[in-house]
Amino acid sequence: MLVVRKTVQMAVRKHLSRSFSASRNHLQERKGLVLGVFEKEAEEGGLHLTEAAARFDQSLSGKLSDLLKIAAPGLKKGKSRIFYGIHQDFPCVAVVGLGKDNEGVCGAENWDTKKENIRHAVSVGCKILQELEVNHVEVDDCGDAKSAAEGAVLGLFCYDQLKSKKKTRVTTQLHGSADVDDWKKGVVYAEGQNLARFLMEAPANHITPTAFANTIEEKVAPHADRVTVNKRPKAWIEEQQMGAFLSVTRGSEEPPVFLELYYNGCPDKKQLPLMLVGKGITFDSGGISLKPSQSMDAMRADMGGAATVCASIVTAAALKLPVNIIGLAPLCENMPSGKATKPGDVVTAKNGKTIQVDNTDAEGRLVLADALCYGLTFNPRAIVNVATLTGAMDVALGSAATGVFTNSDWLWEQLHKASVVTGDRVWRMPLFQHYSKQVTDCQLADLNNVGKYSRSGGACTAAAFLKEFVTAPHWAHLDIAGVMSNKDEVPYLSKGMSGRPTRTLVEFAAGLAHSG
């Protein structure tokens, strides 16, 4: 009996000293709340509660306001304060700074600052509560339920599938707002980007071309009435005479897959489809032109183009966007072996053009060339290809924006407008004849897969190479090499593969759907 009493006393003492490290059963019932506050313009250090936060404060007879005056005078954007035990339904309440209430679209930054501040602040609150092992969080809409949902879902993402110790899984819901539809839409947008993050982050031995295709097939299964999937094998690729694509696959033991997705969201058969093409190199060693070993592991995400394209189509299907989309993803590995393509080899693309492959590490443009030729046969209203194509793009823009090369002012305007809404920015790059001459001046073939002056303007010469395979009047090439991963640049994304620009692609498709 004495032993039992001592055991109980020790347990109680432990519970009192570590109130948020209780038993698993207790943790399963813990709820948290994220509320927002704006900075007051005219009052130094003053705070203005959101509508939901004001109602919560009123239910506590002003207790929250009193605590904020003591603990958080002048709470700046992206900063937070945690309060414990102030409400019986929410043991933990995170109050986050949203910046100024009068922010909006900023021409200098090319985004909606208020939306970005909400995403940032909500993600901060959710992540802090997750660290406290709170597993259900209600979130203030902060004046924009869609952005709040995106901040919550993106901020809570963590790729720990292969770890023994995992982070607390957190469910979220809207608090104190009737704007449920926009909240749900934001959740779907963010889950789409998280799907791309998952695919890009997973090890290359887990996400092979076949595994990638199977994963996407599983993700679109709930929308089978609107989405058709074709997983084309190597024999089909050979029948299509995709010699450029096949040249990249030669060194790997993993079979290539040419993945096709057909989303039929619009019953009007006269509506031409939007074509999305994504580079799908599931691991890029560089081939015979071998990459340095340092950071080569990151090349598991060299299928970021395919990941974002496929994730955006999954998202479009979940949103039931009234638009038709075709997605193409040439999937393979780029590996060295006795069978691999050698520098100086000449291969023939689907359109009959010959290509001198002087650098086997410039393989993305080869797989895209054949995919673009195939995509043109569907007579799309617009064709957008997405690829982690060049390190030069990272040098040019870093992680601030996706580089866009396009022959269409209309298409640029649609992409740019979408990016301002999502905060996942794009920036227009040149497609001068100056660069085309550098890839068409070739010793052995019609084209060279690297520019005449090697590193100079590398992102531009890569785009110029792709242009040689496009006859459509509305085409855009998105080079996402610079935005492939995130360190701390985007505050609501954790360190790792970013899944960018999935939400911008979805917003772009939604814009086309609503504009007809």
| Phi, psi of 46, rounded to the nearest 5 degrees | -80, 155
Residue 298 gets which letter from DSSP?
A: G
What is the number of H-type helices and E-type strands within the chain? 17, 22
Q: Of 122, 107, 280, which is closest to residue 190 (Cα–Cα)?
A: 122
Cα–Cα dist 161/17, whole Å: 32
CA nearest neighbour of 213 among 279, 257, 263, 277: 257
Q: Which of 509, 190, 256, 507 is nearest to 381 (CA)?
A: 509
**Is residue 354 helix, strand or coil?**
strand
Torsion (CA) 252, 254, 256, 262 in degrees, nearest 10: -150
Nearest to 131 by CA among 94, 175, 186: 94
Query: How far is 476 from 499, CA to CA, in rounded Å?
Result: 19
Cα–Cα distance, 153 to 492 (Å, whole number): 9
Catalytic residue among 365, 425, 467, 500: 365
- Residue 15, Ramachandran bin (φ over 0: left; ψ between -120 and 50: alpha; else beta): alpha
Choosing from 167, 226, 291, 417, the catalytic residue is 291
* Pairwise CA distance, residues 246 & 250, whole Å: 6
| CA–CA separation, 92 and 34 (whole Å) | 9
Is 291 a residue of the active site? Answer: yes
Distances (CA, A) of 32 to 173, 205, 340, 438: 11, 38, 55, 58
The residues that are catalytic are 291, 365
